[in-house]
Amino acid sequence: MGAPCRPVLARRGRSSLLWPPLLLLVTVGALLKPVRALQNVTSQLFGAEAFGTLAAFGDFNSDKQTDLFVLRGENELNIFLADQNEPYFKPKVKLLLRDVVITSVVPGDYDGDSQMDALLTTRPQEQPDADLSIWIFWGNNQTLGRLYRRKYSLSSSTKQLRISLFSGECERQMYLNSV
């Protein structure tokens, strides 16, 4: 007669007892080294240009890479175009407005020419209750071109504002909602 077979269930049961401590060790090890999981990549992304306030995202130059619209100070807009090499975002377009505070940036194609434009709302410096002005800088893929500007009363009591834009022979209606 041969040796009695060991019950398979018993072997499985013994080896399975090793897993909880192993899992615990792996989990504790991962928790003890959180620094290795996070990295500061600011310099890789922006190099020496890492300052300002991120205002909006959009693919400004239509290369399928998301670009960044960054405000510096009260009246300067920079568009950081995505790049394949470090730093991965480079300021390529700079817009400096005089005597105003930029209150919002809304990228979009407002004249339907497939080029992303930049709509800004501004108010005069040191006049927080003044009416807002709306600026649209028409995009030319890598630059911002001619300007469309009008002054509107866009106060907190204004729920919706209709803007008519003329591009060639076409008239476009745009609606802005105040929040």
List all residues 6 or more positions away from 153 whose beta carbon is below 8 Å from its beta carbon: 131, 132
Number of C-alpha atoms within 13 angstroms, CB side, residue 136? 17
Nearest-approach distance from CB 98 to Ca ion, in angstroms: 24
Between residues 74 and 109, which has the closer beta carbon with respect to Ca ion?
109
Is there binding between residue 63 and Ca ion (CB under 5 A)?
A: yes
By CB under 5 A, name the one of 45, 47, 49, 59 that touches Ca ion. Answer: 59
174, two tokens: 């745009």
**Contact predicate 159/178, CB 8 Å:** yes
From the list 32-40, 64-72, 89-97, 121-129, the region that binds Ca ion by CB under 5 A is 64-72
How far is residue 147's CA from residue 117's CA, in Å, rounded to a whole number? 10
Site for Ca ion in 120-179 (CB under 5 A): none
By CB under 5 A, name the one of 47, 65, 92, 165 that touches Ca ion. Answer: 65
Between residues 141 and 153, which has the closer beta carbon with respect to Ca ion?
141
Residues 142-145: contacts with CB within 8 Å, 24+ apart? 142/61, 142/81, 142/92, 142/93, 143/93, 144/79, 144/93, 144/95, 144/117, 144/118
From the list 6-14, 101-109, 144-152, 169-177, the region that binds Ca ion by CB under 5 A is 101-109
Nearest-approach distance from CB 64 to Ca ion, in angstroms: 7
DSSP designation for 37: G
By CB under 5 A, name the one of 12, 27, 86, 113 that touches Ca ion. Answer: 113
Between residues 70 and 101, which has the closer beta carbon with respect to Ca ion?
70
| Residue type at 75 in one-letter notation | N
Between residues 101 and 111, which has the closer beta carbon with respect to Ca ion?
111
By CB under 5 A, name the one of 87, 93, 101, 115 that touches Ca ion. Answer: 115
**Contact predicate 118/145, CB 8 Å:** no
Binding region for Ca ion (CB under 5 A): 59, 61, 63, 65, 67, 109, 111, 113, 115, 117
